[in-house]
Structure 1
Amino acid sequence: MSSLPSQHPTLSLHLTDLTLTPLITSSSSPTHLESLTSLTSSAITSQTTAQRANLGRPQRIMVEYPDSGAVVLQSYLDPRESHSESESVSKYKHDHDADADADPDDATTRTADDAAAPVLIGVVVAASSDDAREARRAAARLERIGREFQKEWAAQGLEQDTDGRSTPE
């Protein structure tokens, strides 16, 4: 998982929770980290704005700048919607193999995910539109890793439930 940034050295990658705590980042300096954190904060604001405008809850926002400029991909990993995100990621990758273990009909899993796993935000930045295809592949991988984190948190929450201890709310 930590090798994802090294697999895409020309891209900036960042995965955080809603408190902007980095889980994965390609940040190489405090200034770079600050920029990625700012983009993540903007992604959260964009999602909130879309919801307030009754546009629904976006799964992904892509921003392209003119004249072959930068490309920014923002992904929203809400554990309550993991089954529909899996379908979207497979379209992203064009090979329909993303998250094959997800069972969209398993309400118990979705409920556990809701209780134990946080919403995650992924940001991928490419310096030019020439790298947009690689950025989409990296975003799909970052999303898949984020869902793996969420599954682990959900599993830990279920273990705490079965041990008789209450899970944090």
Structure 2
Amino acid sequence: MSSLPSQHPTLSLHLTDLTLTPLITSSSSPTHLESLTSLTSSAITSQTTAQRANLGRPQRIMVEYPDSGAVVLQSYLDPRESGGGHSEPEPGSKYKHGHDHDHDADADADPDDATARTGSDDAAAPVLIGVVVAASSDDAREARRAAARLERIGREFQKEWAAQGLEQDTDGRSTPE
């Protein structure tokens, strides 16, 4: 998992939770980390804005700059949606905007309420945000592959957290109230 950034040395990769705690990062300096954290924060704002506009929860957003400029890919890994038929992009597939237009109880929740976005169960896996930045559109294909891998790793983290939470619930050591 930690080798993912080394597999894509021309890209910036960042996976965090909603509190902006880095789980995986290619950050090489405090300034670079600050930039990736800022991009992640704006990704969270974009997600909140989409919810407030009644567009549902986006799965992915891709930003391309003109004149072969940078490409920014943002992925939203909500554990409530991992088993709901939403597929992750395969390497080499077209990375597209994904909007969940299905109405559910969470669509009416306050988007600023972290409990509503992560679920009320403390043992549940957190929502994760993945960010991949390519310096030019020439690296967009590699960025899409790296984003798909980052999403798979994030889903693995979430499955482990959920399993640990269930294990704690069933053996009585730590049951959330």
TM-score bucket of the superposed structures, by smaller chain: 0.7 to 0.9
SS of the counterpart of 1:33? Answer: helix
Kindly indicate which of the two structures has a greater share of residues assigned to helix: 1
Equivalent-residue separation in structure 2 for 1:118 and 1:64 (angstroms): 28
Residues 39 and 15 of structure 1: CA distance in aligned 2, closer, same or farther (over 3 Å): same
Where 2:76 maps in the other structure, the secondary structure is strand
Cα 1:24–1:168 shift into 2, 3 Å: farther
Aligned residues: 169
Per-residue CA deviation, residues 78-125 of structure 1 (Å, 9 max, x unaligned), is 000015557999875999999999999999999999952000000000
The question of whether the paired residues in 2 share the 8 Å contact of 1:120 and 1:146 is answered with yes
Equivalent in the alignment of 2:161: 153
Deviates further, 103-112 or 81-90: 103-112
Tell me which residue corresponds to 1:97.
104
CA distance in structure 2 between the partners assigned to 1:99 and 1:142 by the alignment: 25
3-state SS of 1:13 partner = strand
The residue aligned with 2:149 is 141
Given that residues 72 and 123 in structure 1 are in contact (C-alpha distance below 8 angstroms), is that contact kept between their aligned partners in structure 2?
yes
Instruction: Decide which moves more: 88-97 or 22-31.
Output: 88-97
Structure 1's consecutive aligned runs of 4 or more residues displaced over 2 angstroms after TM superposition are 83-115, 165-169
Unaligned runs of 5+ in 2: none
C-alpha displacement at 1:166, in angstroms?
Answer: 3.5
Q: 1:152 to 1:91 in 2, by over 3 A?
A: farther
Kept after mapping to 1: 8 A contact 2:124/2:165: yes
The answer to whether the 8 A contact 2:65-2:71 is kept is yes
Say if 1:15 and 1:24, in contact at 8 Å, map to a contact too. Answer: yes
Q: Deviations over 1:12-66 (max 9, x none)?
A: 0000000000000000000000000000000000000000001111000000000
Question: Identity percentage over the alignment?
Answer: 97
Asked whether the 8 Å contact 2:40–2:131 carries over to 1, the reply is yes
2:91–2:144 CA contact under 8 A, matched in 1: no
SS across alignment from 1:152? helix
Q: Contact 1:15 / 1:25 at 8 angstroms: preserved in 2?
A: yes
Distance 1:166 1:108 in 2: 19
Contact 1:99 1:144 in 2 (8 A): no
My pick for the range that moved more, 13-22 or 154-163, is: 154-163
Pair 89,76 (structure 1): closer, same or farther in 2 beyond 3 Å: farther
Q: CA RMSD in A?
A: 7.6
Return 5+ residue gaps in structure 1 as ranges: none
Quick one: distance in 1 between partners of 2:106 and 2:44? 24
Residue 20 of structure 2 corresponds to 20
Distance 1:144 1:33, change over 3 A: same
